[in-house]
Amino acid sequence: MPLYKATIAATASYLPEKVVTNHDLTKTLDTSHEWIFDRSGISSRHIAADDEPASAMGIKAVRKLLEKHPINPADIDLIIVPTSTPDMVFPATACIIQSAIGATNAGVFDLSAACSGYVFSINTAAVFIESGKYKNVLVVATEKYSTILNWQDRSTAFLFGDAANATLLTRAEEGHGIIAMHGGTDGGKPELLCIPAGGSKNPVTAETVKNRMSTVHMKGGDVYKNAVPRFTETIEAVIAKAGLRKEDIALIIPHQANIRIIKTVAKELGMSADKFMVNLEHYANTSSASIGLALEEALAAGRIRTGDYVVLSAFGAGFSWGSTLIRW
């Protein structure tokens, strides 16, 4: 048995000032607002400034969190930064954030799980807290996808946006906190959603740059076919692990990738779409930052009350998937 349960004590997000609408994209892409919205549910997205890397956005999210939930940064034991767009290969973006916020006693690392990064990080943080070794763990999901998109690719350019979210986990009070976790991976299909170049297999060369191999490549139909059953599987699994029924769940906060995926998953689960938090219309897919962003909005809107059972669920490249069930 774990020594403690972990819970989410606070969350705060940062969105870049610049907003790019679907109508803006029609100036450079052969597309329309209607085509994009019908297929994805997205109307606009935030785009970070050129001098605003992932670390800068993450730092701003943390500072907003500290305004809402004052904690001495020296009392933070661990910082996990899920990101697909680190400032550089190394050192970890978590190191830059740690230094900027003065978390002098924190161990830090980046976590690479694409859109599943937030859930994987929350679950990892929970295990550290459950062990009794750590009390306060900060998860900082920060993504600057605008730097890894091919803005001439009609099939992917409209799907993503930039954002950051900071979430503080700590020990829970009796009867509350994270009560179940689930995760899975199928690493046999990496080519269906990937960035082909920039790593040790295909280092950056003039040829890879010319062929835009350092940008997101996605086979959308295949991703959809994998996302729906895996999302369904992980939500059902985490509810079963908690010994609950679907009717017990007050809210599901899924990764905000595509409205069609979310609606289909709700149908597959036999649950009302009203039980799913959706905010991707104005932010698009912000990868690992999306669930934290939606969680903050759900809390602000009063959609989560004390005692509610809430599921966080994600699906991403890898393929990877996972869920967290919390009693608020």
Domains of the chain: 6-175 (3.40.47.10), 178-327 (3.40.47.10)
The pLDDT, as a whole number, for residue 75 is 98
Residues forming the active site? 115, 255, 285
* pLDDT tens-digit profile, the chain (328 residues): 778 999 999 999 999 999 999 999 999 999 999 999 999 999 999 999 999 999 999 999 999 999 999 899 999 999 999 999 999 999 999 999 999 999 999 999 999 999 999 999 999 999 999 999 999 999 999 999 999 999 999 999 999 999 999 999 999 999 999 999 999 999 998 999 999 999 999 999 999 999 999 999 999 999 999 999 999 999 999 999 999 999 999 999 999 999 999 999 999 999 999 999 999 999 999 999 999 999 999 999 999 999 999 999 999 999 999 999 999 9
* Four-point Cα dihedral 238, 241, 245, 246, nearest 10: 10
Cβ atoms 111, 139 nearer than 8 A = no
User: CA 247 to CA 266: how far, in whole Å?
Assistant: 13
The pLDDT, as a whole number, for residue 189 is 87
| DSSP letter assigned to residue 173 | P
Q: The whole model's pTM is what? A: 0.97
Q: How many CB atoms lie within 10 A of CB 175?
A: 9
